[in-house]
Structure 1
């Protein structure tokens, strides 16, 4: 799982723009409510907290959700209408929507698995083509008040969002939140030999037993999913066996030569197709995985 730094300037700008664009749209939807009980509830409780609901921290979202979620069916219906995620994901030219948020965030690999690209593509004439899915850390069915909260919308691939997590009950005390928990140094990929499959190899993920990391990875089937990519591991092992521990220096001196200046990060990206710096892991699939394995093999 890749950390999204909420203080990064790009994320801050995306969050501010999200609030600026979404707040008036939400008020428009509130103005369309007709049930008197629901209108009174929004007037008394919800409206004053709209900015926090839309852009509050994960901790604040959990607190507001507990305090403001009603039991009255009419109010719940109104909340599901006002904070309707399907409405937000409609492709729109004239109003802000999920494509605009994805474009501003510019998170180009899945935050949960770091296996698949999640680029946002919008043409010059504003035609919206593809974007990442947004997983709801606090599932939207149980927490409709948070269905459009910025920090509850996690950029992810369709496999992690729709096929794996798909409504599982995540909480801050039990699961890792990508905007909140920096865990990149608290787990590592490794490998072992096994007779259980034809490849003779298996990928493992080490983390503290009983930790939120272990729980999150188990619920996301991350180790199981990564074992569908044994070929990536085999390539790295093949590289180790055919070349030497000095693979990068050999590549730099013998292939590129002294006439082509190149940084360590650029050389690493050229050799392995992934990022070297931890803060850039989100830019290329398998960056964390390959970094850990290559270190174990003493290649880097």
Structure 2
């Protein structure tokens, strides 16, 4: 629900230079082993183009390339040619797309590299709904393991060569990843515009009467809120609420707002002042005080660090538990 500056991403990538270079080398080795003779002319040309991207002397660092470069590659390389060849028994052959995806080894990286990379980047929760962690339990050989879930902003079905390009990866919970599918949304996770990295354009707001009604009835179901999102420039782009069902998800989390309303009653100005003074004696960062106060992060730039942070910080500001930055 908020963008991250490209320079921060590039810095984090610089911390993993060796790992990223190993990914490129392994991918290149596997790509070169693909037998070109089993494909038609269009597929052969496509494979050659992909191999060139992963060559060490390529002018483009395909794994680290920035969003503008990715958009250029989509035009120059294009989507993968259609494959309509079948075995005699009617079952489809292993397509070129599958060969490329296997060579780039995205599935393996989900459980090895991506968890530590995105942790360093400060992303733990779903960048779309912010209601869940970007972790999925995957069963393999009878045992479960945690895998990092990412959405490919540009589909790996159409552009398999971008399947491990880091700027094409948007950490998402399994639910949002599934419903996003190939839906067109206008959301920029990585940006060069600093303003987009400090203030989210997505907001939760409690209705004006909800607080008084809850204090009268003590029924959390009397609490109502709305979710607003920016006006999109792309007429084809779908709204977050329509694709990810944001309001429906958070309808089940009204107890979070209930707790904030109760805190707003308990923590009056004098009590907050006393708490703050005692907290300062510990010589801890003031932001940590606000986080302990509301039970989550309180600045937009930290939205990705913990699930439910966005709704908590928005309602906490509305209740004057914390100040608008």
Q: Looking at CA atoms only, which structure, 1 or 2, has the larger radius of gyration?
A: 2
Q: Which moved more, 1:272-281 or 1:99-108?
A: 272-281
Q: Which moved more, 1:140-149 or 1:75-84?
A: 75-84
Q: Between the two structures, name the one with larger relative contact order (CA 8 Å, sep ≥ 6).
A: 2
State TM-score, norm by structure 1. 0.77
Partners of 1:5 and 1:258 lie apart in 2 by 31
Q: Which runs of 5+ in 2 are unaligned?
A: 55-59, 86-93, 137-143, 214-218
Q: How does 1:229-244 map to 2 (within 5 A)?
A: 229-244=253-268
Change (3 A) 1:117 1:79: closer
Instruction: Give the conservation status (yes or no) of the 8 Å contact 1:65–1:145.
Output: no
Equivalent residue for 2:95, pick from 55, 58, 77: 77
Q: How does 1:142-181 map to 2 (within 5 A)?
A: 142-162=158-178, 164-165=179-180, 167-170=181-184, 174-180=185-191
State TM-score, norm by structure 2. 0.72
Q: Which residue of 1 aligns with 2:57?
A: none
Deviation sequence 1:171-217 (CA, Å, 0-9, x none)? xxx5102123736332321112589x971122312233455798234
Instruction: Give the conservation status (yes or no) of the 8 Å contact 2:297–2:303.
Output: yes
Partners of 2:7 and 2:260 lie apart in 1 by 35
Instruction: Give the conservation status (yes or no) of the 8 Å contact 2:80–2:97.
Output: no
Instruction: Give the conservation status (yes or no) of the 8 Å contact 1:114–1:282.
Output: yes
Instruction: Give the conservation status (yes or no) of the 8 Å contact 1:134–1:155.
Output: yes
1:191 is aligned to 2:206: yes
Partners of 2:159 and 2:280 lie apart in 1 by 58
Instruction: Give the conservation status (yes or no) of the 8 Å contact 1:245–1:299.
Output: no
Following superposition, the deviation at residue 19 of structure 1 comes to 3.6
Following superposition, the deviation at residue 11 of structure 1 comes to 2.8
Runs of 4+ residues deviating >6 angstroms:
none
- Over aligned residues, Cα RMSD in angstroms? 3.6
